[in-house]
Structure formats: C-alpha cells, structure tokens
C-alpha cells in the first residue's frame, strides 16, 4: 500500500464520488485492480487490464447480491454504477472499518463463526445465478481436468506422480453440499474491530460454489492450522488438509471455477515453489 495516489486514479475517484474530499486518499495495488482508498467513505476499484475491465460489471453485481444475502457481517456494496474511463472500468464500493490480523493470529471461536456463516448461508436462485454452476465453468471445463491436463504434465518429473496422487486424493473426497466459498480468506480480507469482533469481509472476486472446507484451508494457511483445528470439526479439518495438499489451497482456488488458466507456466512455477517448501499441515 502507498500513500501517494497516481493522478489518473485521483481523477477517476473524483468523477465517481464528486464532492468527496480526497485529502486522505491512499493507494493500493491488487492483482486485478488498482484501488483508491477513501477512509471512512469508499474504496474505488479501477481495472488494470482488459480482462479486469470486462469482468468488473459481473464482479460488482456479485458484490451487490452477496451483500444482500443476509450474512451476519458487512460486505462492500456498490455505491456507483460501473463507469468507463478510456479503456479502464471503475466502481466505488462502501468502506469497511476494522483491520486484518497478522498471519498466525486468530480466535478459533470467531473463525468458526465466520466459516459457519458462509457454510450455512442459503443459496438463493439470485446468488446461484451470479456464482455460476458449481465445480464447472460455463464452457464445460472442470477444475480437475485443468490440473490433470495443463498443470501436472508441466511439473518437474519428480513431482508428477506425487501431483497425480494429491489430485486423486482430492477427487476421492466424499461429495458435500456446495456452499458459498469466499476463496481468499486472507488476513487483510477479514476486518476485525479492536476488541476482536468480526466487522466484515471484502474482496469476493474468487467467490464460487464449492466445498466449504476450501475456505477452512485458506484460514488454516493464513491464521494457523492449530487455530483452524480448534475452530472446526474433525471432518472439515481433514478435508481442509486434503484441499491444501492439492498444490496449496491459495493456488488451487485459481482453477476451481474451471476457467482455462491465463498464465499456465507462471502458475506451475508458483506450485513447484510451494511443493518444494510444502508448509501445509502433515497428514495424520
């Protein structure tokens, strides 16, 4: 994060939020969007590349639907329509107070409540429409096929058989009911109050319908596996272990919606680095 906001982004923020003071504006760069942070007021998301421009309307509608779904915590809501500024798209969303926790820190009770709220949320037809069909993208690709056909053959020879074994273990998991999965429950995406109360969750760009143990694995990766073990039942913990061992859950979620990978070689390099330093929990 940087305090200095590029002039182009300040102009976009001013156009979206006329009359709003920009004196306290800060800049954050994400993987898909540049963000102008207006503390206490809004966050202005601006696409970086054509793919982000094309997807911002759908991502914004997803936020609107999730925010209205009845979760017991805040979700950023669109404050403006998506607007075009040359080749970039931008939207302002509501501000969430609070802050993330450092890696390895977390109250198991609060973590369990967060995961439970996502797992137990009723999947309405409107929510299903913006999330798409579970496990498979609209063009018919399946996440496991992507890993088997695009990723594992590119692994170094010593990892290919192990990669197949890990994928087979994931496919052998007993099917569970698909739930709302955030997909990136990292430290800065979960905002807590100073006294430890959950305020809200942001960055829903990876949201999809899938096994809720994927979110549990993300929490374990960021907030500590001991904290996760105390937060969930044994079955969820074991499933989370399996998902994490399938090339690291933070990498796995990039394939779960079934879209062809845009940068396969880079994706594989990140997976190999993770495999070489496998920091996930050990299987019992």
Main-chain phi, psi angles of 221, to 5 degrees: -60, -40
Chain-centre distance for alpha carbon 208: 9
Mean pLDDT for all residues in the chain: 92
Measured CA to CA, the distance from residue 57 to residue 51 in angstroms comes to 11
β-strand pairing of 88-94 with 42-47: antiparallel
What's the mean pLDDT in 6-18?
97
Q: Which of 45, 102, 125 is nearest to 222 (CA)?
A: 102
Domain ranges of the chain: 7-94, 108-276
Share of the chain above pLDDT 90, in %: 84
User: What pLDDT digit, counting tens, does each position of 92-113 carry?
Assistant: 999 999 999 999 999 999 999 9
| CATH hierarchy code of domain 108-276 | 3.90.1200.10
Token digits of residue 175: 């099917």
Q: Which of 80, 83, 100, 103 is nearest to 92 (CA)?
A: 80
pLDDT value for 133: 67
User: What pLDDT digit, counting tens, does each position of 116-160 carry?
Assistant: 999 999 999 999 999 876 666 545 568 999 999 999 999 999 999
User: What pLDDT digit, counting tens, does each position of 174-194 carry?
Assistant: 999 999 999 999 879 999 999
> Does 259 have pLDDT greater than 70?
yes
Is it true that domain 7-94 has CATH number 3.30.200.20? yes
pLDDT value for 187: 79
């Amino acid at each position: 994060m940087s305090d200095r906001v590029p002039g182009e982004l300040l102009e976009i923020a001013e156009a979206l939020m006329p009359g709003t003071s920009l004196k306290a504006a800060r800049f954050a760069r994400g993987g898909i969007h540049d963000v102008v942070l207006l503390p206490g007021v809004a966050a202005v998301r601006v696409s970086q590349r054509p793919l982000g421009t094309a997807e911002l309307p759908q991502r914004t509608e997803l936020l609107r639907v999730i925010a209205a779904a009845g979760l017991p915590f805040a979700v950023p809501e669109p404050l403006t329509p998506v607007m075009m500024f040359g080749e970039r798209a931008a939207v302002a969303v509501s501000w969430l107070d609070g802050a993330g926790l450092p890696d390895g820190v977390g109250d198991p009770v609060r973590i369990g409540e967060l995961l439970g709220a996502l797992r137990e949320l009723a999947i309405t037809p409107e929510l299903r429409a913006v999330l798409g069909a579970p496990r498979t993208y609209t063009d018919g690709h399946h996440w496991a096929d992507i890993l088997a056909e695009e990723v594992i053959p590119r692994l170094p020879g010593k990892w290919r058989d192990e990669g197949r074994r890990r994928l087979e273990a994931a496919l052998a998991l007993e099917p569970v009911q698909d739930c709302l999965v955030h997909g990136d429950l990292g430290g800065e995406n979960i905002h807590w109050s100073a006294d430890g109360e959950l305020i809200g969750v942001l960055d829903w760009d990876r949201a999809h319908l899938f096994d809720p143990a994927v979110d549990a694995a993300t929490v374990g990766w960021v907030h500590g596996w001991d904290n996760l073990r105390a937060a969930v039942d044994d079955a969820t913990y074991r499933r989370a272990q399996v998902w994490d061992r399938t090339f690291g859950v933070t990498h796995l979620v990039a394939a779960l919606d079934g879209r062809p990978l845009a940068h396969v070689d880079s994706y594989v390099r990140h997976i190999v680095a993770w495999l070489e330093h496998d920091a996930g929990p050990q299987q019992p």
